[in-house]
Copies of this chain bind each other. A is one copy, B any other.
Amino acid sequence: MVASNGDISSFLKSHGLTGTAIRKQVLSHLWGDGVALTQKEIEEKLPPATDRVTLYRTLRLFTEKGVVHKIVLDGETQKFKIAGRFRKSDHAHFYCTKCHKLLCMPQLDVDLTDLPEGFQFSSARLVVEGICDACSGKK
C-alpha cells in the first residue's frame, strides 16, 4: 500500500466512482509507477474470501472508466495498470522481463511513413520486451 486511503478515495471520486472496499484494495495494489498485475495476481493479494465475480466486475468497470489500462503481453497474459496521464492505451509499453514492471514509452514511435500506399492507419499497439534501466545495473 503505497498511497494513502485519502489519495485513493479522491482518485476514485475524480473518475466518478464510489469508493468501496474492494475498489480501494485493488487500486492500492496497482498503485506505484510501472506496477502491472494480472487478474490472478491481484486476486492473490486480496483477502482469500474475495469474490472473483466482484473483482472481475471491478476491473471491467475500471477499464471502462479509463482508470486502468489492459495491456496484452504475449497473447496469454493480460496485465492491468493504472492509466496515469494517458487517456488511451494506444502508446507503446516496455515490459521488463526481470522485475515485471510495465512502463509507458510514448517516445517510442512507429514509423508509419513506411506504410505501403493505400493503407490507412487507425491505431497501433506496440509492446517492447527486455530489461529495464533499473534491472540492467546501469544508471
How many of chain A's residues have a CB under 8 angstroms from any CB in B? Answer: 40
Q: From residue A49, how far is it (CB to closest CB) to chain B in Å?
A: 29
Query: Is the pair A138, B125 in contact by a Cβ cutoff of 8 Å?
Result: no
Starting from the known contacts A71-B75, A124-B126, 14 additional A-B residue pairs (CB-CB under 8 Å) come to A75-B78, A97-B122, A109-B114, A110-B110, A110-B111, A110-B126, A118-B132, A119-B131, A119-B133, A120-B136, A121-B128, A122-B129, A123-B129, A124-B127
With known contacts A109-B111, A112-B108, A114-B109, A124–B129 Cβ distance under 8 A: yes
Shortest Cβ-Cβ A-B pairs, 4 listed: A118-B133, A72-B75, A122-B130, A118-B138
Taken together as a complex, chains A and B put the C-alpha atoms of A123 and B111 apart, in Å, by: 17
Q: From residue A31, how far is it (CB to closest CB) to chain B in Å?
A: 23
Taken together as a complex, chains A and B put the C-alpha atoms of A92 and B110 apart, in Å, by: 10
